[in-house]
Amino acid sequence: MEQENLTNEPERPNASRRDFLKQSGVLAAIALTPPVAIAAVDQGLDQKLATAFEQQPLRVQINGVAKQLSVEPRVTLLDLLREQLHLTGTKKGCDHGQCGACTVHLDGQRINSCLTLALMTEGAKVTTIEGLASGDKLHPMQEAFIKHDGFQCGYCTPGQIMSAVACIGEGHADTPEQVREYMSGNICRCGAYANIVEAVMEVKNKGGQL
Amino acid sequence: MNPFQFTRVTTPQAAVSTISKTAGTYFLAGGTNLIDLIKREVIIPEQLVDITKLPLAAIEKTSSGIRIGAMAKNSAVADHELIKKHFPLLSMALNAGASAQLRNMATVGGNMMQRTRCSYFYDNSMPCNKRGPVQSGPDKGQPNGPGGCGAIGGSNRMHAIFGASAKCIAVHPSDMCIALAALDATVNITGPKGDRSISFTEFHRLPGDIPQKDNTLAPAELITSVDLPTNAFAEHSYYLKVRDRASYAFALVSVGVGLEMKGKIIQQARLAMGGVAHKPWRLSEAEQFLKGKEASEFNFKQAATLAMASAKGYGENDFKLTLAPNSIVEALQIATENA
Ligand SMILES: Cc1cc2nc3c(=O)[nH]c(=O)nc-3n(C[C@H](O)[C@H](O)[C@H](O)COP(=O)(O)OP(=O)(O)OC[C@H]3O[C@@H](n4cnc5c(N)ncnc54)[C@H](O)[C@@H]3O)c2cc1C
Ligand code: SF4
Ligand code: FES
Ligand code: FES
């Protein structure tokens, strides 16, 4: 995939990358590179060059696999997962922390990957919905969502399941009321809430088994 | 998002010196507010300084109370045994905010520094006096969108009823800060000129003529920790948050209460309100009034009337003029019964 496509956002009008390069401290980096690089900027290769200059190394473990990556600072963990690593189980709903569709585990804790920059995960362990099952054997929470019909369209489901697993792990799933409160960061547009609470309570009450 | 530079630091000194060097540089803590604002181009940074690796996340006992590191996660503070036991008001307020995921990311320092949720502020095609100039890029120094206050005479259901100005009627949206204001916290800060401490109630400010400034932190200063003095409010504490849905929504009005009781008599009272002003709104007159009085509905109503003396509605938010005093009375009643 083209690296430029890592963020699918339009540039601000009037703010070409080249202008940005000229005005920012990245210029300092260019000053230290051979004249050929500067010539490349002048010949309109600035787009690719800018991306190369702006990328930084990232070491992160994703679903148990150690990765050495190179990412632009502005790339979120969500976009890294979906666009660069093709782990599209994690969903983009609102992209602003308001829906929970992008929930993943960072060092075992549930977070919103849309408001986390990829570079913030340096040295950390990330688990996505793809990393929950062991081989062909589904995680008990995945089984429970199927058994209790914890979804309709399924768009919020990966986030719900990641959140639910962490909710039990935190000790915040003692009662249906507590589950409703501590799962409130996951919005379901289809309104499958009643079944989701049943699924979480069953996994909790059976000690993580189903 | 526009491109920006990213620098990681591991000491507070490096954080301060890095931010001092380049204009348009911001500390990045949990990112839950900053990344959101960058995506919406309310902030267009030149550089982010990642402070998540700073060793400032401890929650520990001190000789006079408890010290909470600025990088402590909101969830870690809310669930900490010492906080739950000695400062339940803080736990309640934190757990009333945002979602479990966001609380796992958000830090104490970032929570204090979060910007208003005024919808005009968040949309740079709308008039707002708070956004100020563009911080970097080709438009650096230009106003980031039209000036004026869209909320005055506009959609202001969420807005202030205390301490607003003709320039801005926004509220500070934090729940945590209401508890910290009520509990007489102190903020510890380090910066280019060294270390300093200020009382929590003096940290945030009213909008006046410079609504761009939410607080009294000087450029390049870093919040390092918050101190909470020991108190006798634990048994009679309550955080009441009234909002449009039961969870995962900002407060229309919130009330933080701490009471020290002897039988039915209030020895000391602490009261602060959220969703009503540009800063956590401490109700000092009501506190004074309640001192030495019996905990009764009659006295609570009088305290609420005193607290509302300077309130002013702006149209859509006029309902807060009734909701706020009712909430004060209810929070006091529940805190009295808690034990
Ligand atoms: C959908 C949603 C719902 C929410 N609901 C609520 C709610 O109901 N109640 C509530 O109280 N909050 C709510 N929040 C806000 C949330 O609490 C804040 O976004 C969070 O506390 C900010 O902390 P952070 O560590 O993520 O800060 P960041 O986003 O990393 O930083 C915020 C600002 O603080 C500055 N900063 C960070 N740390 C320091 C430091 N140590 N010293 C100096 N400056 C610093 C940064 O430079 C930045 O300008 C909600 C947020 C979202 C997205
Ligand atoms: S209330 Fe303040 S933040 Fe909102 S539009 Fe007016 S000036 Fe901007
Ligand atoms: S996509 Fe992250 S919370 Fe909605
Ligand atoms: S199943 Fe459709 S959004 Fe939840």
Cβ-Cβ contacts under 8 Å, B248 against chain A: 184-185, 187
Residue A31 lies in a domain: no
Is the domain of A92 the same as that of A106? yes
Residue A88, classed as helix, strand or coil, is coil
d(CA B116, CA B173): 6
* pLDDT-based confidence at residue A53 (cuts at 50, 70, 90): low
Is there a contact between A112 and B105 if contact means CB atoms under 8 Å apart?
Answer: yes
Question: pLDDT under 50 in chain B at which residues?
Answer: none
Of A131, A152, A187, which residue sits at a domain end? Answer: A131
User: Quick one: tokens of B110?
Assistant: 């970032």
Over its C-alpha atoms, chain B yields an Rg (Å, rounded) of 20
Q: Residue A149 maps to which CATH number?
A: 1.10.150.120
The type of residue at B3 is: P
pLDDT score recorded for residue A207 = 87
Q: Does A12 touch chain B (CB under 8 A)?
A: yes
**What global pTM score does this model have?**
0.92
Host H or E run for residue B332: helix B320-337
Is there a contact between A115 and B140 if contact means CB atoms under 8 Å apart?
Answer: no
Q: Closest Cα of chain A to B44: distance in Å?
A: 11
pLDDT at A43 over 60: no
Residue A24 lies in a domain: no
Cβ-Cβ contacts under 8 Å, B139 against chain A: 14-15
Is the domain of A139 the same as that of A90? no
d(CA B240, CA B254): 5
Instruction: Give B225-259 pLDDT, tens digit per residue.
Output: 999 999 999 999 999 999 999 999 999 999 999 99
Is there a contact between B101 and A117 if contact means CB atoms under 8 Å apart?
Answer: no
Terminus-to-terminus CA distance in chain A, angstroms? 40
Is the domain of A100 the same as that of A166? no
Residue B319 lies in a domain: yes
Q: Residue B15 maps to which CATH number?
A: 3.30.43
How many structural domains comprise chain A? 2
Residue A23 lies in a domain: no
Of A83, A105, A131, which residue sits at a domain end? Answer: A131
pLDDT score recorded for residue A41 = 52
Can you give the residue range of the structural domain that contains A101? 55-131
d(CA A196, CA A188): 10
Is the domain of A175 the same as that of A137? yes
How many structural domains comprise chain B? 2
- Exposure string over B86-103, b if 16+ CB within 10 A, otherwise e: bbbbbbbbbbbbbbbbbb
Instruction: Give A121-163 pLDDT, tens digit per residue.
Output: 999 999 999 999 999 999 999 999 999 999 999 999 999 999 9
Query: Could you tell me which of A202, A61, A77 has the C-alpha nearest to residue B101?
Result: A77
Residue A60, φ and ψ in degrees, nearest 5 = -150, 145
Is there a contact between A20 and B39 if contact means CB atoms under 8 Å apart?
Answer: no
- For the CA of B167, the closest atom of ligand 2 is 7
Location of structure tokens 């099952």: A133
Nearest CA in chain B to A95: B36
Lowest-confidence pick of A27-36, A94-103, B36-45, B111-120: A27-36
B150: Cβ below 6 Å to ligand 2?
yes
Residue A65 lies in a domain: yes
pLDDT score recorded for residue B338 = 79
Q: Residue A90 maps to which CATH number?
A: 3.10.20.30
d(CA B171, CA B142): 25
Query: Could you tell me which of B185, B222, B227 has the C-alpha nearest to residue B62?
Result: B227
Residue B92, φ and ψ in degrees, nearest 5 = -60, -45
Closest ligand to residue B113's CA: 1
Is the domain of A124 the same as that of A72? yes
Percentage of residues in chain A having pLDDT higher than 90: 72
Is the domain of A144 the same as that of A111? no
pLDDT score recorded for residue A80 = 98
Is the domain of A124 the same as that of A144? no
Can you give the residue range of the structural domain that contains B325? 234-337
d(CA B211, CA B164): 10
pLDDT score recorded for residue A39 = 53
> If you average pLDDT over residues A179-202, what whole number do you get?
98
Residue A4 lies in a domain: no
d(CA A40, CA A207): 61
Question: What's the gap in Å between B192 CA and the centre of ligand 3?
Answer: 37
Measured at the CA of B172, the angle between CA B39 and CA A163, to 5 degrees, comes to 55
Q: Closest Cα of chain A to B95: distance in Å?
A: 9
Residue B278 lies in a domain: yes
Nearest CB neighbour to B101, from listed A12, A74, A111 = A111
Residue B109 lies in a domain: no
Q: Closest Cα of chain A to B175: distance in Å?
A: 16
pLDDT score recorded for residue A120 = 98
Is the domain of A119 the same as that of A151? no
Is the domain of A138 the same as that of A116? no
Question: What's the gap in Å between B1 CA and the centre of ligand 1?
Answer: 18
Residue B167 lies in a domain: no
B170: Cβ below 6 Å to ligand 2?
yes
Q: Closest Cα of chain A to B1: distance in Å?
A: 6
Instruction: Give B252-303 pLDDT, tens digit per residue.
Output: 999 999 999 999 999 999 999 999 999 999 999 999 999 999 999 999 999 9
- For the CA of B28, the closest atom of ligand 1 is 30
DSSP structure class, residue B69: E
pLDDT score recorded for residue A26 = 44
Residue B83 lies in a domain: no
Is the domain of A145 the same as that of A103? no
Q: What is the mean pLDDT of chain A?
A: 84
The type of residue at B292 is: G
B43: Cβ below 6 Å to ligand 1?
no
Host H or E run for residue B254: strand B253-262
